[in-house]
Chains A and B, each alone.
Chain A
Amino acid sequence: MGEAAVEFRGVSKRYGTGYVFEELALTIPRARIVCIIGPSGCGKTTLLKLINRLIEPEAGEILVEGRPIGRQNPVELRRNIGYVIQQIGLFPHMTIEDNITVVPRLKGESRKRLDHRVDELLSLIGLAPDQFRKRYPHELSGGQQQRIGVARALAANPSIILMDEPFSALDPISRVQLQKELIKLNEQVKKTIVFVTHDIDEALKIADRIVLLKDGKLVQDDAPEDLLKRPANAFVREFLGTERFAANFEI
């Protein structure tokens, strides 16, 4: 207790006949960026959606902040967990301001009292509030839209934020930019960020901890440098890219 933001205890989930997860145990530490990574079909998005109950497990228990989520109201639970999805998660018919304040408004806060919060969040992600609050998502670049997505997840001040390949649709330059910003941002806001990606470079760059999955099994759960220093098996080595190890040995 205390340390873990999210804890999976013996979680099993199956689709049709095959298991996605069988007896999965995993602890996600607080206030860190944790990357969930693996080849496609390894269950990383499923794992993320189990945390906010978009998907229910067949067996086992998931604890968020030490409390089992199975007994919580899913709507309440989700309002207390930030959620950023790949590509266009912004609502096209709402202004930036309305998009950012969705969750606080769902929680019953009045729009007027959120003005200040919008300014604060837009400044935090480096967009001028006066220039952006009244605009619509399609008027923004992909990178800007994804920044708004992050701001929206922060709006209700959750302690945990789930991100599902948020930067995968961006061009390489904005992607690198946003990765840097995310690291800096989390030094300020200190949230637990569970970040799903299929891009190992992205994971190595931003993660405090990397959880590597294969076919629903946890292969390795380590800090990025430990992953490079002590890959658990041949699969990890191959997934990270064998050339990376050659380079390391030369140093």
Chain B
Amino acid sequence: MPDSRPDPRPDSRPDTRTLRLQRAMASLVLDRDEAVLEADAGRAARRHGLSAADQQAFRAQGEALMTYRELARMSLLEPLESMFPVLKALLEEAGDWDACVQQFLDARAVRSGHYRDIAPAFLGWLVASAWGQDRWPFLLELAHAEMLEVLVARFPDGEPVPGLHAEPQPGDLLVLDPATRIVSYSHAVHRATEASPHPETRPTHLIAFRQADGEAQLLDLTPATSAFLVRAQETVLGEAAVSLGFDGLAPLLPLLHDLHRDGAIAGFQSPT
């Protein structure tokens, strides 16, 4: 999910005691060295150049301050645990879940005030950092697949696209519903479960869309139908079908009708 919040240069903020105290609290909550902080909460204040009195205030309230570490981490990690249960099971099996989420916290990648954006921020960090991908080549695909239905279900509502019709003609272009996603993976990650988190290596093509009642739906596609649904957004239906080896548009009409009825396809339009 794109983040619109500007990230100003550090020197654009005044170096006040209040800001240093806030930075010390962020360190106390997010930094990895929990045992050291537990032993001396004043370290977080020292690290940010605060006075001896402020360091003492941190030390004197160490236990209560560590409550904030617990509460904030619960807030930041609960969306990951609920959004990525299979990924969590995979990494816990290897004893690496805690290390993964700590590196995510180290990256300070949560930039949005929307709680629903925490899980997408984690996926964005996995992409940017390439964490664990040498060991688990399917890791990104697995995380993406776990989040796909939720992203589709909660895609912001928009105005209906004007000028669409319901019956596809060979000379039409296909217009997907804005929430619909067609994805291709190298692994059958959508079949992985918490009990069996290692997906089979198999090219997988899926369409995720929002039904009229608002619920997300995930369907397997063949490689050819997946390619057709992508190509037919740019090339008229008849040509797209023939270029992919179909015997004209006719064999694809039942699929197009079904996807239109179920809300994956917004409609069809003549090229302008």
Whether A associates with B in a native complex is no
